[in-house]
Structure 1
């Protein structure tokens, strides 16, 4: 059926795009990890500074030294938080791109629903999933990235520049949001299989360009 073939092509193109966005997502998260570690280091330095009484050391000859050091540390925290916000903008773009591809595939499915043979849509084989399976996987992927983005954005918004304990635990809290098993389940082998499967003529698609460039 022409409608079924068109829908299958759209779904497969969505999986190719999803594969590319998964790689971009991982790349951004890898850039965030050292930034979070640096936040923790600054939190430790701020903690150590708070325990020092400069007036009891030879450095008492330098007026306002402790305040100036604290100010420099806070400036460094602000810089890191801004860089993390920039990365969150990239993650948001990736999330939106995934959502756009999934919405387009679902819209095409709804437009084709009346003329779609249910038996054909649910037919699967040992080497190929059914159209219904693929649509469900796409929706799972969209929910995964939407939830991941919301959790990471919420964590970043709760970080306060002057909360030393919070800064020290930032990297651990960030890593706790990782869901490698869930990601593999919805975007791993299935995407690899579908995106490398030979496609005839009009179904072929090149890898998407990077959606966000980092400094």
Structure 2
């Protein structure tokens, strides 16, 4: 059926997008991890500095030293936050790319649902998932990438002068990891793209990276 063939092609393009962008997604997240750890370290340094009374130390000859050190720490925080914002923009681009492919496939499904043979859509074998299964996987994958918004919200709530918040930033960031969900999506993508009949029927060129970081 032409409608089924078109839908299968759209689904495959979506899975290719998931495959191509997964490595970029993981790479950006890995770049963010040490930046969040550095934010925590700066928060600790700011806390330690706030407890020091320079006037009671041999450094009292430099009355503005504490203020200057605080200024340098705040500058370092600003730099890290900017680098993290840049990476959030990259994650947004990846999420939008994946979401666009998934939305196109789901829209095509809705448009052709009336003429779609239910038996064909739900038919699966020992080597091939059903079209309905693959559409469900795509929705799961899109929900996974949508979790990026939680990371973006966390970043937006960070304040350069909130020492406790900065200290806990790395822990809060790690709490948003979903290794089980990512592994499930990866397995589904590999399973689908290694299905020879589909692979032979639709050749899709791999996409270029969405964004590159310095």
TM-score higher than 0.5 = yes
Task: Give deviations 1:77-104, integer Å, cap 9, x for gaps.
Answer: 0110011011111111111111100011
- Contact 2:160 2:166 (C-alpha < 8 Å) held by counterparts: yes
What is the alpha-carbon distance in structure 1 between the residues aligned to residue 3 and residue 195 of structure 2? Answer: 23
TM-score by length of 2: 0.94
Task: Give 1:189 shift.
Answer: 4.1
TM-aligned CA distance change 1:7 to 1:190, over 3 Å? same
Task: Give 1:57 shift.
Answer: 1.3
Q: CA RMSD in A?
A: 1.6
- Contact 2:42 2:166 (C-alpha < 8 Å) held by counterparts: yes
Query: What stretches of structure 2 of length at least 5 have no aligned partner?
Result: none
TM-aligned CA distance change 1:59 to 1:192, over 3 Å? farther
- Contact 2:15 2:192 (C-alpha < 8 Å) held by counterparts: no
TM-aligned CA distance change 1:52 to 1:166, over 3 Å? same
TM-aligned CA distance change 1:72 to 1:117, over 3 Å? same
| SS at structure 2 position matched to 1:210 | coil
| SS at structure 1 position matched to 2:90 | helix
What is the alpha-carbon distance in structure 1 between the residues aligned to residue 190 and residue 106 of structure 2? Answer: 17
Task: Give 1:115 shift.
Answer: 2.0
What is the alpha-carbon distance in structure 2 between the residues aligned to residue 50 and residue 163 of structure 1? Answer: 12
What is the alpha-carbon distance in structure 2 between the residues aligned to residue 81 and residue 48 of structure 1? Answer: 21
Q: How many residues align?
A: 214
What is the alpha-carbon distance in structure 2 between the residues aligned to residue 195 and residue 144 of structure 1? Answer: 22
Q: Tell me the residue number matched to 2:4.
A: 4
- Contact 2:18 2:189 (C-alpha < 8 Å) held by counterparts: no
What is the alpha-carbon distance in structure 2 between the residues aligned to residue 159 and residue 113 of structure 1? Answer: 45
Task: Give deviations 1:143-165, integer Å, cap 9, x for gaps.
Answer: 11113x11101111111111111
Q: Tell me the residue number matched to 2:70.
A: 70
TM-aligned CA distance change 1:196 to 1:40, over 3 Å? farther
TM-aligned CA distance change 1:143 to 1:160, over 3 Å? same
- Contact 1:12 1:195 (C-alpha < 8 Å) held by counterparts: no
Query: What stretches of structure 1 of length at least 5 have no aligned partner?
Result: none
TM-score by length of 1: 0.94
Q: Tell me the residue number matched to 1:84.
A: 84
What is the alpha-carbon distance in structure 2 between the residues aligned to residue 200 and residue 28 of structure 1? Answer: 29
- Contact 1:141 1:187 (C-alpha < 8 Å) held by counterparts: no
What is the alpha-carbon distance in structure 2 between the residues aligned to residue 70 and residue 200 of structure 1? Answer: 58
What is the alpha-carbon distance in structure 1 between the residues aligned to residue 195 and residue 27 of structure 2? Answer: 21
Task: Give 1:114 shift.
Answer: 2.4
Task: Give 1:188 shift.
Answer: 2.6
| SS at structure 1 position matched to 2:198 | coil
What is the alpha-carbon distance in structure 1 between the residues aligned to residue 100 and residue 189 of structure 2? Answer: 20
TM-aligned CA distance change 1:116 to 1:189, over 3 Å? closer
